[in-house]
Amino acid sequence: MLIPHPLLGLRDAQEFTYLGDASLMDRPDPTLDNAETAFCDYVFMRDNPAGVHRELWFHEQGDRSWLVVTRNTITHEILGAELAKDLKLNRKDAQ
Amino acid sequence: MKFSGFRVVKEALTGHKGWGALWRNPEPKPDYDIVIIGGGGHGLATAFYLAKTFGKARVAVLEKGWLGSGNIGRNTTIIRSNYLLPGNEPFYEFSMKLWENLEQETNFNSMVSQRGIINLFHTDGQRDAFRRRGNAMMLAGADARLLDQSELRKMAPFLNFDNARFPIKGGLMQSRAGTARHDGVVWGYARGADMRGVDIIQNCEVTGFRIENGAVKGVETSRGYIGAGKVGVAVAGNSSRVMAKAGMRLPMESHVLQAFVSEGLKPTIPGVITFGAGHFYVSQSDKGGLVFGGDIDGYNSYAQRGNLPVVEDVLEGGMALMPMIGRGRLLRSWGGVMDMSMDGSPIIDRTDIEGLYFNGGWCYGGFKAAPASGYAFAHLLATDRPHETASAYRFDRFARGHIIDEKGVGAQPNLH
Ligand SMILES: Cc1cc2nc3c(=O)[nH]c(=O)nc-3n(C[C@H](O)[C@H](O)[C@H](O)COP(=O)(O)OP(=O)(O)OC[C@H]3O[C@@H](n4cnc5c(N)ncnc54)[C@H](O)[C@@H]3O)c2cc1C
């Protein structure tokens, strides 16, 4: 699999390590009343879809950036990649 | 039809005209007491024990493809009970005992071969860990033996003992472990269940559940609606997909695991050898092919095929362990979709929906578990109580903090 790194172009997936579902970027708020349940869901529960999946890959043997890669889990086709940092910053701007 | 030596002789003398089909191909009935989804090893074993041990006859197994099209027909056939943790070891030892009597119980040759398994160690720390594991195994009634290097050299002289990075210092051996014929297990359980009245319905995909007032009434399938008193789900790599149709999210990711077989070679490998440090394990089939594999590919996948980097990684591990295989040729490789749970251990439990039961999370180790899993799931479906060896396999163990993490790597499925 080749991952289209936004800064470095197509890179072999082997240069990356895989973490999992991109929703792991959204940590629950530990001060909320239901924080215990929310954290249990966050740590252990997954959508695990067959089809399009947004997921976190770390460019460990490259520029050490985190990417959010959109990939089809049935075909392994990679549909896009963004810097996780950009996503987070854009979201903060939007708020 | 009963298989026996006498029968083989009789058929040989009469032109083999008396062998019939191993199971019927019935049309689905409008409803059943118990519907099992998934005709893999676990679904079929569940149906078999439901009929044979728990006396349930109005049972159906619904399989979306053909029997054996899932992981049960794709695995590397290793059976063993060499686990460490108290939630696991008694269960796997129960399974080992069922394997030892499986052929008598199903009257079918599953080629169970107790040729032994050896887990190699390379450091003092690993030796201590394996000694501890061996003791845990013996406490649960299993057999275990720590081999030193000289003993191991006699058994497997071809190993690269003086490897610079991972010198082989010895191994933990379980003599009662070994291999079985995966297809034989499918056919034996299917035939045994069918003989006792279970309807095995192939090409029947479950597409939804009918749930009323929090209780399951039946399943929607590609062959129409089928009513059910209870529904047991045993769909391995498709667990999240199927349970999502009942509105449930699972502590699970689906990952692809690859396996490989070489051309037929003369008998060399005495049993199963695992080289954990090098991500490689191997055995030799009765036809002579080296059957081997390594780690999962490591990213979510429903593709039933993997990618080249892991192929290279596995073969490098093989070359490091036994350089002699460099002259052999690879015949085939394939992949299967694993139901990787968040702690690497399975779930056999009720759900919050009345009448809906779940069995899954077997990761890369569910072949050996099939007999005990089927027995325990049948026990749960028939009596509504967990089997004593499977009582730790609950959904709520994650919330309670009672995870069963053999490797101690945390909620990261691609590391289990
Ligand atoms: C390459 C590889 C090597 C392995 N090696 C070993 C090993 O050496 N030792 C070991 O113990 N384990 C091993 N395993 C793991 C083992 O094969 C699995 O854990 C086990 O087979 C899973 O249970 P099962 O047999 O019920 O699954 P499966 O055979 O996958 O059965 C599930 C069935 O459910 C069906 N299904 C799915 N969705 C639906 C639906 N909606 N409706 C109807 N039916 C549906 C599927 O078609 C499938 O037939 C290996 C697996 C792989 C892939």
Convert the pLDDT of each residue in B27-52 to its tens digit.
Answer: 999 999 999 999 999 999 999 999 99
CB contact under 8 A, A49 and B309: no
B236 CA from centroid of ligand 1 (Å): 5
B52 CA from centroid of ligand 1 (Å): 23
How far, in Å, are A4, A59, A64, B5, B307 from residue A9 at the CA level?
Answer: 5, 12, 14, 66, 21
Nearest to A11 by CA among A62, A76, A80: A62
Burial A46-83 (b: 16+ CB within 10 A, else e): bebbbeebbbbbbbeebeebbbbbebbbeebebeebbb
Q: Is A40 an interface residue toward B (CB < 8 Å)?
A: yes
Q: Is B301 an interface residue toward A (CB < 8 Å)?
A: yes
pLDDT at A91: 86
Per-domain boundaries in chain A: 2-94
CB contact under 8 A, B240 and A55: no
pLDDT at B54: 98
Choose from B299, B338, B414, B415 for mutation: most chain A CBs within 10 A. Answer: B299
Name which of A12, A18, A74 is nearest B302 (Cβ-Cβ). Answer: A74
Query: How far is it, in rounded angstroms, from Cα B360 to Cα B403?
Result: 15
CB contact under 8 A, A20 and B253: yes
Choose from A44, A53, A61, A72 for mutation: most chain B CBs within 10 A. Answer: A44
Q: Mind listing the domains of chain B with CATH numbers?
A: 24-81+84-107+182-251+343-415 (3.50.50.60), 117-177+253-341 (3.30.9.10)
One of 3.40.50.300, 3.30.2270.10, 3.40.50.720, 1.20.1050.10 is the CATH number of A2-94, namely: 3.30.2270.10
- Tell whether ligand 1 has an atom less than 6 A from the beta carbon of residue B355: no
Tokens 């013996």 found at: B138
Which H helix or E strand runs over B199?
A: strand B199-201
- Tell whether ligand 1 has an atom less than 6 A from the beta carbon of residue B346: no
User: Helix, strand or coil for residue A2?
Assistant: strand
- Residues B135-184 pLDDT 10s: 999 999 999 999 999 999 999 999 999 999 999 999 999 999 999 999 99
pLDDT at A95 over 80: no
**Phi, psi of B37, deg, nearest 5:** -100, 125
B327: exposed, middle or buried (Cβ count in 10 Å: 0-12, 13-18, 19+): exposed
Token pair for residue B206? 């479950």
pLDDT at B97: 98
Q: What is the dihedral of CA B134, B136, B140, B146, to 10 degrees?
A: 10
- Banded pLDDT at A92 (limits 50, 70, 90): confident
Q: Is A64 an interface residue toward B (CB < 8 Å)?
A: no
Nearest to B254 by CA among B347, B392, B182, B360: B360
B255 φ/ψ sector (left φ>0, alpha ψ -120 to 50, else beta): beta
- Residues A10-20 pLDDT 10s: 999 999 999 99
If you write DSSP's letter for every residue of A43-89 in order, what string do you get? HH-B---SSEEEEEEE-TTTT--EEEEEEETTT--EEEEEEHHHHHH
Token pair for residue A79? 């549909």
pLDDT at B107: 96
- Residues B257-312 pLDDT 10s: 999 999 999 999 999 999 999 999 999 999 999 999 999 999 999 999 999 999 99
**Residue B254, beta-bridge partner list:** B339
CB contact under 8 A, B254 and A50: yes
pLDDT at B57: 86
Dihedral sign for Cα B176, B179, B180, B182, please: positive
Q: Give the full edge-to-edge strand order of the sheet including A52-58.
A: A17-21, A52-58, A66-72, A78-83
Cβ(B246)–Cβ(B209) below 8 Å: yes
- Residues B84-136 pLDDT 10s: 999 999 999 999 999 999 999 999 999 999 999 999 999 999 999 999 999 99
Which H helix or E strand runs over B10?
A: helix B5-13
Total residue length of chain B:
416
Cβ(B204)–Cβ(B222) below 8 Å: yes
If you write DSSP's letter for every residue of B31-52 in order, what string do you get? EEEEEEE--SHHHHHHHHHHHH
Tokens 């010895």 found at: B170
pLDDT at B394 over 90: yes
B7 CA from centroid of ligand 1 (Å): 33
- Tell whether ligand 1 has an atom less than 6 A from the beta carbon of residue B364: yes
The pLDDT mean for chain B works out to 97
Query: How far is it, in rounded angstroms, from Cα B291 to Cα B286?
Result: 10
pLDDT at A84: 97
- Tell whether ligand 1 has an atom less than 6 A from the beta carbon of residue B69: yes
